[in-house]
């Protein structure tokens, strides 16, 4: 079984797994990093949303072999700067967004990436931009998510 080195949340980690195992399971089941959640396994619910080189992606749909050692993978656990939370995490707490919390790591990672994308493309972080986010929240916290994204964006 091949051994591979990944860059996960700023650390180099080595893992033994077959090439086709999806990154979500490598992260969760083999490395024990459980912030990204399984909600569908087919890149639909987006509960596993994490970042690869700063961009949102869904590790449920990426085989281990598609990731290079130089790729910086960030899960929700790696978003804060030590104990100092990312502005989006702060906004999430301020707006009291989470209910069960299962989708929220993915929601926050998606929100951060969406704001960065809008900035890069010179777009407003408005309702239209937020409605491009596909992450499901089955508790229905969407309205607070919207408020939090707008507030978090102001401090990013």
Kindly write out the interface string for residues 52-81 of this chain, putting x where it contacts another protein by CB under 8 A and - elsewhere.
x--xxxxxxxxx--x--------xxx-xx-
- Please give the full DSSP string across the chain, using - where no structure is assigned: --EEEEEETTEEEEEE--TTSBHHHIIIIIT---SS--S-SSSSS-TT-EEETTEEE-GGGSBGGG--TT-EEE-GGGTSBTTB--HHHHHHHHTT--SS-SSHHHHHHHHHHHHHHHHHHT---SHHHHTT-----TT--HHHHHHHHHHHHHT-
Q: Is 30 in the site for another protein (CB under 8 A)?
A: yes
Q: Which of residues 100-119 bind another protein (CB under 8 A)?
A: 100-105, 108, 113-114, 117
Query: Taking CB under 8 A as the rule, does residue 8 contact another protein?
Result: no
**Nearest-approach distance from CB 144 to another protein, in angstroms:** 7
CB of 68 to another protein, least distance (A): 11
């Amino acid at each position: 079984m091949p051994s591979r080195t990944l860059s996960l949340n700023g650390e180099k980690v080595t893992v033994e797994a077959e090439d086709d195992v999806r990154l979500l399971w490598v992260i969760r089941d083999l490395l024990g990093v459980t912030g990204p959640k399984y909600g569908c396994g087919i890149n639909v619910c987006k509960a596993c949303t994490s970042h690869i080189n700063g961009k949102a992606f869904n590790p449920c749909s990426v085989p281990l072999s598609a990731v290079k050692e130089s790729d910086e993978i960030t899960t929700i656990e790696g978003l804060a700067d030590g104990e100092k939370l990312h502005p989006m995490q702060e906004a999430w707490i301020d707006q009291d967004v989470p209910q069960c919390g299962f989708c929220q790591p993915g929601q926050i990672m998606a929100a951060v990436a969406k704001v960065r994308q809008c900035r890069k493309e010179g777009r407003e972080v408005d309702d239209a931009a937020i409605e491009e986010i596909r992450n499901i929240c089955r508790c229905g916290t969407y309205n607070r998510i919207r408020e939090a994204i707008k507030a978090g964006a102001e401090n990013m």
